[in-house]
Amino acid sequence: MESQVRGGTRWKRFAVVMVPSVAATAAIGVGLAQGALAASFSVSGQSFKVTTDKLVGEGFSQYGALEDGYTLKGDKVKRPVAVSAFKTATITGMCQSVVTPNVPVLGSVSLKLTAGDGGTPVEAQNLYIDVADLQADATFKNIDIGVAAKDATKGPGIAKGEVEQQKANPFGFAQQADEVTLTDVKQTAWATTAGTFKLSGLKMSLSKGVKECY
């Protein structure tokens, strides 16, 4: 079964793309560019934006959860997110950006990363991402809608520790597919966890002002 959905639909906002957080990726960017490393990324108190030309993922699942986080003032909060997971994924033409506001003297400072542009895509295994908003064209193969999160078998399952911490309801609504292809992706997310993540052709830039991927 194939389900193809274009921008402007619920699928577009609720579907998945797996990418790392910008600030944490910058900190370990050299290691990730040279080889596959385990990685867990988040930007404390901030969301980050991502665009990708194309993402192809195998073993997809998705379920709702509450993400633990902090505001820029340090207050603890919980955010509703769509947790999306892939067993494996390849990403072509990836851009990530995060803006840090109110830096003394400088004002806003933007960090932007690009990878997967030189003919070798970004590669990932066992990826989870907390998605806040997504726009994309999406094609799903052999999709199952409305399964319980605990019964999803095509993806890597509920992220480790989420049930114990009551972030995700194992009996709540979930969906899964053998494969998903996303193109022309624009995404806002809060955090990503990856078993391994390899960034090919990684480039990083810092600039004054607001300069985001979209």
Q: Has residue 79 been placed in a domain?
A: yes
Total number of domains in the chain: 1
Percent of the chain whose pLDDT exceeds 70: 77
DSSP 168: B
77 falls within a domain: yes
Q: Which residues pair with 86 in a beta bridge?
A: 60, 127
Distance CA(4)–CA(16), nearest Å, equals: 14
In a domain, 93, yes or no: yes
Domain carrying residue 162: 2-204
Residues of the chain with pLDDT under 50: 1-37
Residue 60 lies in a domain: yes
116 falls within a domain: yes
Distance CA(100)–CA(111), nearest Å, equals 8
Q: Is residue 212 domain-resident?
A: no
Backbone angles phi, psi at 76, to 5 degrees: -75, 135
pLDDT at 146: 93
Residue 108: inside a domain? yes
- pLDDT at 22 (0 to 100): 40
Residue 194 forms beta bridges with which residues? 39, 127
Domain contains 211: no
Q: State residue 12's pLDDT score.
A: 37
